[in-house]
Structure 1
Amino acid sequence: MQTLKQKILAYYKQQVDDRIDAFRDMIAALTEDASNDAKGSAGDKHETALSMMHLEQEKLNHKMKEFLEQKAILDKINPETAHSKIALGSLVKANNLYLFVSAALPKISIEGISIIALSPQSPLGMKMLGMGKGDSFEVGTTKYCIEEVQ
């Protein structure tokens, strides 16, 4: 039986892998379009089209790099590790929120529980690092009380 943390990590890894695959497909399609276009055209319109494809390819490569960085962070996390103090890979319950200290990723819902993935470099992540159950802290005007650390 998978723990909640294992399910969260598996879900995020799958999401990131799917996005990486999608970007690879888009980049490959653009590369193929550019090589096909190069065979049959000449002139200014052709140069403009190739430039636009190249710019689009650079944007896609940049986005894919972001997802590869997120994947590298997720790959460092061992979901079996139990944390007493908040660190990378901790699942934290604070103010009835579930926070997964990993990479900044979209909010998800697993087993009816909403999970927010946040980076240790985020304001909330930086405040929480090293804290344990029962500790409290403030970010902006919100006071957080740590109810559980996994």
Structure 2
Amino acid sequence: MTDKELKVALLDHCQETVNKRFDKIKQTISDIVESLEDESKSSAGDKHETGRAMLQIDRENAGKQLREIESLLALVKKIDIKAVSDYVRLGSLVYTNNGTYFISISIGQILVGKTGYFCVALQSPIGQLLSGKKKGEAFTFNEKKFVVKSIS
């Protein structure tokens, strides 16, 4: 598999992961709205008011999660896997002596074929250390020395 094909596969996986999260939170919000409507039909009283208040809090939290996922969706759309650079940036595939990193969103390690790749965000601790690095440059993370072997 070429680096371009690998980047396409990794980006597709990132997109799929975010889409699944998006669908899940949309369903959660829909369920909360339905529960609120059911709660409105219930009789009045302290129990009723407490139930509504808890559902409102759940809806607010789900709304925050939805905004976070929407920002991830926007970030995934910004990833340009066709651009080639001699330094690590968003969309880079970075080969190091301690693993291969796709600079995208933080979803952890994924398998493409039988090989594991780490999808990390630029804002993550290791993403910040990788950002701007060029081939041959080194850094230390979790008491391990990393050397950038190549960037695609």
TM over 0.5: yes
Q: 1:129 aligns with which of 114, 127, 131?
A: 131
Match among 91, 94, 101 for residue 92 of structure 1 = 94
Q: Is the 8 A contact 2:80 2:90 kept in 1?
A: no
Residue 96 to residue 143, structure 1, CA distance change in 2 (3 Å): closer
- Segments of 5+ residues of structure 2 without an aligned counterpart are none
What residue number does 1:79 align with?
81
Render the CA deviation track for 1:93-140: whole Å, top value 9, x for unaligned.
111411111222232111112111222122322222222222222224
Q: Percent identity?
A: 29
- 1:143 matched to 2:145? The reply is yes
* TM-score scaled by length of structure 2: 0.90
> How far did residue 26 of structure 1 move?
1.0
Aligned to 1:61: 63
Seen in structure 2, the aligned counterparts of structure 1 residues 140 and 19 have a Cα distance that, compared at 3 Å, is closer
What's the counterpart of residue 37 of structure 1?
39
Confirm or deny: 8 A CA contact 2:14 2:105 kept in the other structure: no
Check the 8 A contact 1:6/1:80 in 2, yes or no: no
- In structure 2, what residue type is equivalent to 1:90? S
Structure 1 residues without counterparts, runs of 5 or longer: none
